[in-house]
């Protein structure tokens, strides 16, 4: 369970949220919407303990994220399926190696390569991939550890409709299995299939 208690976050002179209180139950889907620059990414980073709120608390399973030690914050990040809007892949290494480094067990790597349609590119160098290929590899790698909490930031940029549909199906299956999902997007309707349990709108 994730609980935001009277949470306020500011970025420079811009107030992103003020006195926000919400509970996101285990296995629920929360959608954070708003135009570009509204602070969706900043809110997600606060949930991960990367950005410090102005006031209030963020509790994950009753642990205050801001009170976690550096080691415990790292555990939180590693155990969460994170895909940030701004990302970059290493300039070296293969597709297969990247997934294994992300925590994908050897027995599951072939399955993930198949889903991502990288069977014939498993040994391709990362710098040989197109922008859309890098994006779907990045999203896929966030699921390598079979996380029980997924946080995706504008995940469908650079993806065509077919890949949006494939990843939506995965998210639907994860939600049914009890995974908690938090997604930021300027388009709330893009995630109607997930039947969000909560929608937070930022301005």
CA-to-CA dists, residue 66 to 15, 46, 51, 80, angstroms: 19, 9, 9, 16
pLDDT beneath 70, residues of the chain: none
2-201: CATH topology is: Rossmann fold (3.40.50)
* CA-based end-to-end distance of the chain: 25
Sorted by where each begins, the domain ranges of the chain are 2-201
For 53-108, the pLDDT digits (tens) are: 999 999 999 899 999 998 998 888 888 999 999 898 998 899 999 999 999 888 88
- pTM (predicted TM-score): 0.93
């Amino acid at each position: 369970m994730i609980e935001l208690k009277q949470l306020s976050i500011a970025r420079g002179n811009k107030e992103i949220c003020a006195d926000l209180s919400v509970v996101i139950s285990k296995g629920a889907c929360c959608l954070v919407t708003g135009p570009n620059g509204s602070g969706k990414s900043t809110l997600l980073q606060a949930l991960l303990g990367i950005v410090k709120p102005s006031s209030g608390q963020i509790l994950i399973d009753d642990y205050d994220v801001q009170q976690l030690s550096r080691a415990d914050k790292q555990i939180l990040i590693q155990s969460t399926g994170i895909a940030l809007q701004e990302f970059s892949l290493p300039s070296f290494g293969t597709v297969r190696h990247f997934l294994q480094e992300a925590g994908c067990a050897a027995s599951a790597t072939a399955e993930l390569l198949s889903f991502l349609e990288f069977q014939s590119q498993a040994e391709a160098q990362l710098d040989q991939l197109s922008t859309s290929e890098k994006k779907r590899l990045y999203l896929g790698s966030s699921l390598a550890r079979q996380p029980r909490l997924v946080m995706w930031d504008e995940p469908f940029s650079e993806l065509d409709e077919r890949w949006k549909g494939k990843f939506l199906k995965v998210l639907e299956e994860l939600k049914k299995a009890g995974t908690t999902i938090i997604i930021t997007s300027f388009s709330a309707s893009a995630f109607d299939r997930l039947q969000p349990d909560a929608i937070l709108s930022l301005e």
